[in-house]
Amino acid sequence: MNLIKTGMMAIGLCVGSGGFVMGQDVRPAGPEQGTPNVVFVLIDDLGWTDLGCFGSGFYETPNIDRLCAEGVKFTQAYAACPVCSPTRAAIMTGKYPARLDLTDFLIGRRTGKLLPAEYIEAMPLEEVTLAEAFKAAGYTTFFAGKWHLGEEERFWPNAHGFDINKGGWKAGAPSYRIKDSDGNETRTEKTFYGGYFTPYQNPHLPDGPPGEYLTDRLSDETVGFIRTHRDEPFFLYLSHYAVHNPQQAPQALIDKYEAKLGRVDACPGAEFTPEHKTKNRMLQNQPVYAAMVESVDESVGRILDELESLGLDKNTIIVFTSDNGGLSTSEGHPTSNAPLRAGKGWLYEGGIRVPLIVKCPGAEAGRACDTPVISTDFYPTLLELAGLTLREEQHADGVSFAELLRSGVAPNRASLYWHYPHYGNQGGWPGSVVRAGDFKLIERHEDGRLELYDLKNDVGERKNLVEEMPEKAAELRALLMEWHRKTKANMPRPNPDFLNDGIK
């Protein structure tokens, strides 16, 4: 079988020029007077190396690569959680999932040696979301795609500051199945939604004509919104369901990558490597997944072209990122995050490091930036770039990196944190993480085991330095314990029904 090996990504420095003046939350002037629009594109489960500009040699992403050449590429950007809902809440609120008590996808309940920590099952209505902040400033707000931040409609996008909602509701994927006690998939009205092709069975997205593809439909809705609201400032949040399972794509694109796979010589190395009790894909060679990535790229291209054709491209802030790492250790293993370790659902870099591109007025194009940033940072950054007043009590854990975009000056922050006190569907276990400088400490909640890595010299997290550097491990663990205290992080509890020795 012909295989494609994922490439290593180059890391550079971030420089920029220009800037904005902070303003008040009042009705902004129209786009012709300089008020920037905001386009935020979030892809579901897109891995760190799933783009050409981030090292993929198999997936084709010319439009996103073009955006990268016009913007700033962040090589050490992080999702706030290795699974979707907590990261999405962190983007919307500017708070760590641990502070929100929303630490797992909605609704996940796996047990093992420990019982998972308690967590809330919807993003609280009391939070002033990023959309609400822009709406208060006079922006028209638009949402399209995956929401997954509450089962009840009172928690869906329209309740959190979005004027328009196209396709956002309780579902975490365009297709959802559960298994019965015998392991057989069940398909009932309650548990099965439409897939990537119409009919979608989505209460906020009417079905399209036969053969319509969901990614294309969400792009249609987004482009239509831009055309309609071209003369007023807008905050647009396109949250694609792709590239989340199920693996479905237009057949013509699948055929293209099937043919491409057959034309490429086999690369050396194993297709999989062991990862605890599962296995981790090391090669990007799945045509359907590649087709889904290209479909997302086509969507981004349509948006870029529309902004340019309307003369809005020079005055629009564009953010492109993912909600967690690529799915590489289970559920079909559709992609590889190599050289990172593991993927979605894990606290290793493959589960939390994500691609990020930001294009905005005043930032020098085509630069790479190796300063770590995280999902909570988007809230204050976008407010500052738009000239709006920061809401420091709301985005309590976010740090603006607007100046990093404008002049290359990094924000003053000593450490980043993650808290995932749950068993992931992908094989991961409950744990917490702190990153300070180039060092990253993982604490496993089952037994208190520590793992310490030097990410500068070991991005694949293969050499645990705990025994070699006990003082550094103790220093970082103290930071983690203090952060747990400050955020009042909920912890998992012993499972009285657990009868064996747990995960090895």
| E strand or H helix that includes residue 70 | helix 62-70
In this prediction the pTM is: 0.92
Question: Structural domain boundaries of the chain?
Answer: 38-174+201-416
Tens digits of residue pLDDT in 409-457: 999 999 999 999 999 999 999 999 999 999 999 999 999 999 999 999 9
243 preceded by a cis bond (ω within 30 of 0): yes
- The arithmetic mean of pLDDT across residues 1-25, rounded, is 36
SS3 labels along 189-238: CCCCCCCCECCCCECCECCCCCCCEHHHHHHHHHHHHHHHCCCCCEEEEE
| Distances from the Cα of 134 to the Cα of 130, 253, 284, angstroms | 6, 37, 39
Place of tokens 């090589």: 75
Confidence tier at 262 by pLDDT (50, 70, 90):
confident
**Torsion, CA 210, CA 216, CA 218, CA 219, rounded to 10:** -140
**What string of DSSP letters covers 456-503?**
TT-TT-----TTT-HHHHHHHHHHHHHHHHHHT----EE-TT--S---
What is the structure's pLDDT at 459? 98
CATH of 38-174+201-416 among 3.40.50.2300, 3.40.50.1820, 3.40.720.10, 3.20.20.150: 3.40.720.10
Confidence tier at 108 by pLDDT (50, 70, 90):
confident
| Distances from the Cα of 220 to the Cα of 205, 223, 234, angstroms | 12, 5, 17
Tens digits of residue pLDDT in 50-105: 999 999 999 999 999 999 999 999 999 999 999 999 999 999 999 999 999 999 99
Q: Beta 140-145 vs 164-166: how paired, if at all? A: parallel
CA distance 361 to 261: 39
Mean pLDDT of the residues in the chain? 90
Token pair belonging to 477:
């663990």
Closest of 198, 213, 245, 195 to residue 44, by C-alpha: 245
- Number of Cβ within a 10 Å radius of residue 265: 7
What is the structure's pLDDT at 72? 98
Confidence tier at 260 by pLDDT (50, 70, 90):
very high
